Structure 1
Amino acid sequence: MPVTIKSAREIELMKEAGRILEIVHDELGKALHPGMTTLDIDRLGEEIIRSYGCEPSFLNYNGYPASICVSVNDEVVHGIPSAKRVLKEGDIVGLDAGVIYKGYHSDAARTHGIGEISKEAKDLIQVTRECFFEGIKFAKEGNHLFEISSAIGRYAEERGYGVVRDLCGHGIGTKLHEAPEIPNYEMNRKGMKLRKGMTLAIEPMINIGGCAVNWLDDDWTVVTRDGSLSAHYENTVLITEDEPILLTLSK
């Protein structure tokens, strides 16, 4: 699949998709509290997405049954919301969501603490976010794709964290997942040259323990093999001649 270069019109549509998704994440982050179920989060997220005349990117995508991926504690990504899963004080929860606006997708993830969380959980969430920003220092025209990957991986590993290798970031546009794949660890080659107009979903998934993961029997939920906490941070990024533009983060 070739990498798509977005036109000025397409970029405007993706900016709007990103703006709306940022609102979704902000509202969900404010709503989180102990006693809330992961299904409550999903229903609220879908309601907000549809209130802007958009569709959830994830609902029924390859059979995924919800609008928001809600991943708790050792769940890395793709947790399926449930009325039986109740958030409690001290949990961390990763929320991954996408919005379709006039045929164009945005994709972003945030990890939140529920009430008071441990210092190691706070540090994990912070480092995962910092990994993203280390990576996008290289996200500009003329640089190479795997410079982003290497910067993310080095930053996490130097601090003693495990970097998930079985999942990666991706291009995005009229499809939720487009070329190229974007690993979060050092590669042995440079990868493609970045071009103005590329749109990428860059998403470090970082574990307190090792990098190994397992898939649960639902074929969606990915968990750390050693049971350690995991965090996820993602934005949709526009490549320009200069600094990248974060379509899902304005502040």
Structure 2
Amino acid sequence: MSIPLFKGTDVERLRRASQAAAGTLAFVASKLTPGVTTADIDQWVREDTARRGGKPSQLGFKGYPATVCTSRNHIVCHGIPNEGEQLVRGDIINVDVTTCLDGFHGDTSATFLIGEVSEDARRIVDVARRCRDAGIAVVRHGARLGDIGAAIEELAKKEGCSVVEEFGGHGIGHQMHGPPTVPHTGKRGSGIKLRSGMVLTVEPMVNLGRPDIRMLADGWTVVTEDGSLSAQFEHTILVTPDGCEVLTQPELALSLEIAC
């Protein structure tokens, strides 16, 4: 399948969808506190997405049963919200929001610290955010996909952390998931060349321990094999001639620390 290149009004629609997702993520962040359930988060995403004129892209995707992924502590990705799962002080939680608006998708996530957290928790959240930003920093027309993964992996290893290899970023646009797959590990100078107009996500999942993972019996929830903490950050980006545009940049700085 060919990789689409977007321009003109399509780029503006991608911006709007991405800003809607970023706005919903910021709305959820403002409401996080100990005692909140992940089912509450699912309901807030459902309601706020509708207020913005969009639909939650994740709901029903390959049978996924919720509007958002909520991944706490050692959950790497695809945690399913449920009424019995409450946030407590010391948790970290990734909230992954994807919005479909006017036929286009925007995808973003962040990992939040709930109250006073351990030094390990604070460290893995900081490293994961910087890994995402390191991957984004090398994106430009003519760069290669391997440059993204190499930048992420180099930083994670320098910090004594590991990068999950089984999941990566992806192309996005008319589809929530499309080509290309964006590995978060790799070798500089390898992989396809990026071209201006490509839209993709950079979303490394970084573990405090080993990179090994396993899937739970629900067929969705992925956890670290060794039980170590995992964190993730994600942006949707547009490749430009001299770099990239972060389409899911929030209008206001997103606070990752939830005071309580």
Would you call these one fold, judging by a TM-score over 0.5? Answer: yes
1:238 matched residue in structure 2: 238
What's 1:77 paired with? 77
Q: Distance in 1 between matches of 2:149 and 2:8?
A: 27
What residue is the counterpart of 1:219 in the other structure?
A: 219
Give a deviation string over 1:78-115, Cα, whole Å, max 9, x none: 00000001110101101111000111001111000111
Q: C-alpha displacement at 1:26, in angstroms?
A: 0.8
Shift of 1:187: 3.6
Could you tell me how far apart the structure 2 residues matched to 1:139 and 1:7 are? 17
Residue by residue, what CA displacement relative to the aligned partner does 1:165-220 show, whole Å, maximum 9, x if unpaired? Answer: 11111100100111011111124861111111000111010000000000000000
In structure 2, the residue matched to 1:165 is: 165
Q: What does residue 258 of structure 2 align with?
A: none
Q: What CA RMSD, in Å, does the superposition of the two structures yield over aligned residues?
A: 1.1
Q: Distance in 2 between the 1:188 and 1:109 partners?
A: 26
Q: How far apart in 2 are the matches of 1:237 and 1:189?
A: 20
| Structure 2 gap ranges (5+) | 254-260
Do the aligned residues in 2 keep the contact of 1:36 with 1:87 (CA within 8 Å)?
A: yes
Partner SS, residue 243 of structure 2 = coil
In structure 2, the residue matched to 1:96 is: 96
2: CA distance, partners of 1:244 / 1:49:
26
Quote the Cα distance in structure 2 between the aligned partners of 1:192 and 1:53: 35
Q: Contact 2:145 / 2:183 at 8 angstroms: preserved in 1?
A: no
How many residues align? The count is: 251
User: Using the alignment, how far apart are the partners of 1:145 and 1:228 within structure 2?
Assistant: 28
Report if aligned partners of 1:154, 1:186 keep a CA contact under 8 Å in 2. Answer: no
Aligned residue number for residue 44 of structure 1: 44
1:47 Cα deviation after fit:
0.5
Task: Provide the TM-score with structure 2 as the length reference.
Answer: 0.94
Give me the whole-angstrom Cα distance separating, in 1, the residues matched to 2:11 and 2:241. 14
Question: Partners in 1 of 2:83 and 2:15 — Cα distance?
Answer: 33
Instruction: Give the TM-score normalised by structure 1.
Output: 0.98
Overall identity of the aligned pairs, in %: 38
Spell out the pairing of 1:1-251 with structure 2 (5 A cutoff): 1-187=1-187, 190-250=190-250
User: Structure 1: 5+ residue runs without aligned partners?
Assistant: none
Q: Amino acid of the residue matched to residue 205 of structure 1?
A: M
Amino acid at match of 1:66: A
